A and B are shown apart, each in its own frame.
Chain A
Amino acid sequence: MNSPFKQLLVSAALITPLLLPVSAQAALAYVSNEKDNSLSIIDLDSFAVVDTIEVGQRPRGITFNHDYSLLYICASDDDTVQVMDVATQRIVASLPSGEDPEQFALHPDGDRLYISNEDSALVTVVNPLTHLVTGQIDVGVEPEGMAVSPDGKLVVNTSETTSMLHWIDTSTNQLIHNTKVDQRPRYVQFSKDGNRLWASAEIGGTVSVIDVASKEELHKIRFNIRGIHRDKVQPVGVKLTSDGRYAFVALGPANHVAVVDANTWEVLDYLLVGRRVWHMALTPDEKFLLTTNGISGDVSVIDIERMKVTKSIKVGRYPWGLAIKPD
């Protein structure tokens, strides 16, 4: 029974286990492609697209649950948040998200998803475990950015047309404060210690650093890139490194990511990435930053130690959101 055919089978059996775990063990980046109704999956060892999954219409915000078994996907044009089983890549549920969900944030307890309903000036609170809506909060026109404080006590939502940050008490689902910021706030992120909130204003062209205790602005960061008119510098995504050292700001149609000293708020550098850069994510080891570039349809990889863009990865049409699953 020493046929060449059998030998082939044996070697295949030997090779296969070597091949498969690569994608199973490496950290993966999930990218939502807004105009392709799909997710691209990038292997973060090889920085190559290893899979593309079809999902609902106009996927934008995506985020994992805490054990990375489920991925929540805002399928904006389906008016739902889809729940994908990560292991099988199947959509296992659709959450009642309210109309036109765009961005959302998961409470540290894992039982509350705060969803921006861009078309109806609402924040919808859904329990992703029971699939029940537990609250709806009136906010300004075109709610967008959403963040939960690290201690889980506060949720902040931005409304793009009203240009406010809306502060919501998670224990009562009541609005407790509104902070006016520059035009078209898009994204908010808390610092790791929960003392600072960073908020980008796309049309204002600024990032406000807010003191969480007083809810007052401490500083406003402005950007100035040689050769690009200030009106075209439009901050959207913000990412902070957990060592508190850097803040990265995606500058939209300026096609650059600003590197900001998170303590002095000084802009250190501008890195050229793909066209219309919107959202970003850090790899689990925080050695790399990934950006979605909508118009060029790719993801740029920034090596943080060298502060250089090292690679761009072609994904689907209009990549929008990013979520990273550690190995």
Chain B
Amino acid sequence: MLLSCWLLSVTTMVNAATPAADTQSIQIGYLELQHETPPLLSNVLPDPQDNALQGALLGISDNNAGGRFLGLAYSLEQARSYDEAELLAALHRFQQQGIQLLLVNAPAQTLTTMANQYPELLFFNVGSYDDSLRLNQCVANVLHTLPSRAMLTDAMAQWLIRKKLKKWLLISGTRPEDKDYANAVRRSAKRFGGKIVAAKDWTFDSDLRRSAQTEVPLFTQTKEYDAVVVADEVGDFGEFLLYNTWYPRPVTGTQGLKPVGWHRVIEQWGAAQLQSRFDRQASRWMTDKDYAAWAAIRSIGESLSHQIPYSATDIRSHLLSSRFELAGFKGRKLTYRHWNGQLRQPIALVHPRALVSQSPQEGYLHPYTELDTLGFDQPESQCRLVDQAD
């Protein structure tokens, strides 16, 4: 194969001075299924148009800073479309070009279609929080750098229980993703000892910007709770629950105190440097999807700098092995779960202006790593991408 011949040159280039003479080009694909945002009540701060893409670009630039000492030049081949068929055509083109590794920012279904069509390529999920991908779908050639919903709600549940806030009122929107989030909350409640004292669906369509103060107190007048957990992923009504609930209790979930894979307020563990590099490049805040894309590209960069060949098979087995570790500005090394390809990571709990806490919370023990108290642990997941991390 063409790839193996330049690999020899990579190993010899490690010791050379900068810049390396015969540079090898490393292309990584980026595929995004764009979507129209539905009309929202809380529409003050829309999601950025280039969500995830900017994170991938920063990853490329970070990889290149080290890659030039190794004779590697990284680039991103992008395809973004509202049409899945167009993306599949682009994917075919990328595959013809010799691209082995791709980031996908799309819903679970598009991702699995792609991965199943091209089993010889390796995909990084940077766009879907879907639990079933990590629990029972187990697509062998997909790794996930974005946390699952279960990881997010477990992180939140640990914090609530630690604060002795055990009784929850669960309010869910009616969109499918809200129901998925609500189901993740139910699972986390069961897992960590939370009690859902009441569960209600938000079906109102009045404009809460004017009426939240009168509608929400009545809506939240249920059996007494310690906290309100909200499942409203697109941000339709959740922002209006805060300070309007019948009992004056904290709001957490998709709004209020929010469990996230990344947020601008994270500046500990050297993160200030990553944030300022991102700010300079993108002129906006770095989101969880940006972070997932950055982590995927950096995972590839770290593998190649350890002289792993640029091939989907080799990189996949390296990333799922115990030899891989990534410094990701989260206070500890990040690794992949060998059973379902999920990137292990601490989950931040934030409000818009500050980091409140980081889960796993102290005291949640695990025989291997406390990070596996978040999301689907090996016994719970049906996935077995590899039998064990060697």
Interface residues, chain A, with chain B CB atoms under 8 Å away:
118-119, 121, 138, 140-142, 159-164, 166, 174-178, 180, 182-184, 202-205, 215, 229, 231-232, 234, 253
Binds A, one of B73-81, B95-103, B269-277: B269-277
Known: A176-B17, A253-B331. A141 touches B325 (CB 8 A): no
Nearest-neighbour CB distance to chain B for A131, whole angstroms, equals 26
Closest to A215 in B: B15
Bound: A140/B15 CA distance, A? 14
Bound: A140/B273 CA distance, A? 13
Of the four ranges (under 10, 10 to 19, 20 to 34, 35 or more), the interface on chain B belongs to 20 to 34
Nearest-neighbour CB distance to chain A for B297, whole angstroms, equals 12
Interface membership of B333, Cβ < 8 A: yes
Looking at chain A's contact residues, the main secondary structure is loop
Nearest-neighbour CB distance to chain B for A172, whole angstroms, equals 10
Residues on A with C-beta less than 8 A from B270 are 142, 160, 184
Known: A119-B277, A180-B305. A141 touches B17 (CB 8 A): no
> Does A140 contact B333, Cβ atoms closer than 8 Å?
no
Cβ contact of B17, chosen from A121, A174, A182, A203, cutoff 8 A: A174
27 contacts across the A-B interface (CB closer than 8 A): A118-B273, A138-B18, A140-B65, A140-B69, A142-B270, A159-B65, A159-B66, A160-B273, A160-B327, A161-B66, A161-B273, A162-B65, A162-B66, A164-B66, A175-B17, A178-B69, A178-B70, A183-B326, A184-B270, A184-B327, A203-B325, A203-B333, A204-B333, A205-B333, A215-B15, A229-B369, A234-B332
Closest to B331 in A: A253
Residues on A with C-beta less than 8 A from B331 are 253
Nearest-neighbour CB distance to chain B for A66, whole angstroms, equals 31
Interface membership of B306, Cβ < 8 A: yes
Nearest-neighbour CB distance to chain A for B352, whole angstroms, equals 22
Given contacts A162-B69, A164-B66, A203-B325, 5 further A-B contacts (CB under 8 A): A119-B273, A141-B65, A160-B327, A184-B270, A231-B369
Bound: A161/B302 CA distance, A? 10
Residues on A with C-beta less than 8 A from B273 are 118-119, 142, 160-161
Nearest-neighbour CB distance to chain B for A175, whole angstroms, equals 5
Nearest-neighbour CB distance to chain B for A202, whole angstroms, equals 8
Cβ contact of B15, chosen from A159, A177, A183, cutoff 8 A: A177
Cβ contact of A203, chosen from B18, B277, B306, B332, cutoff 8 A: B332
Interface residues of B in 36-75 (CB under 8 A from A): 62, 65-66, 69-70
Bound: A141/B305 CA distance, A? 14
Interface membership of B216, Cβ < 8 A: no
Bound: A175/B14 CA distance, A? 13
Interface membership of B377, Cβ < 8 A: no
Closest to B274 in A: A161
Closest to A161 in B: B62
Bound: A141/B74 CA distance, A? 15
Interface membership of B84, Cβ < 8 A: no
Bound: A290/B167 CA distance, A? 48
Residues on A with C-beta less than 8 A from B370 are 229
Closest to A186 in B: B270
Residues on A with C-beta less than 8 A from B65 are 121, 140-141, 159, 161-162
Residues on B with C-beta less than 8 A from A204 are 325, 327, 333
Nearest-neighbour CB distance to chain B for A294, whole angstroms, equals 10
Closest to B13 in A: A178
> Does A180 contact B17, Cβ atoms closer than 8 Å?
no
Closest to A176 in B: B17
Interface residues of B in 302-346 (CB under 8 A from A): 302, 305-306, 325-327, 331-333
Bound: A287/B166 CA distance, A? 53
Residues on B with C-beta less than 8 A from A140 are 65-66, 69
Bound: A177/B16 CA distance, A? 6
Closest to A182 in B: B325
Residues on B with C-beta less than 8 A from A119 are 273, 276-277
Bound: A170/B62 CA distance, A? 26
Residues on A with C-beta less than 8 A from B369 are 229, 231
Bound: A202/B370 CA distance, A? 19
> Does A177 contact B62, Cβ atoms closer than 8 Å?
no
Known: A119-B273, A119-B277. A163 touches B66 (CB 8 A): yes
Residues on B with C-beta less than 8 A from A160 are 270, 273, 327
> Does A141 contact B62, Cβ atoms closer than 8 Å?
yes
Bound: A205/B369 CA distance, A? 15
Bound: A66/B369 CA distance, A? 47
Bound: A140/B332 CA distance, A? 21
Residues on A with C-beta less than 8 A from B18 are 138, 175, 178
Bound: A142/B18 CA distance, A? 17
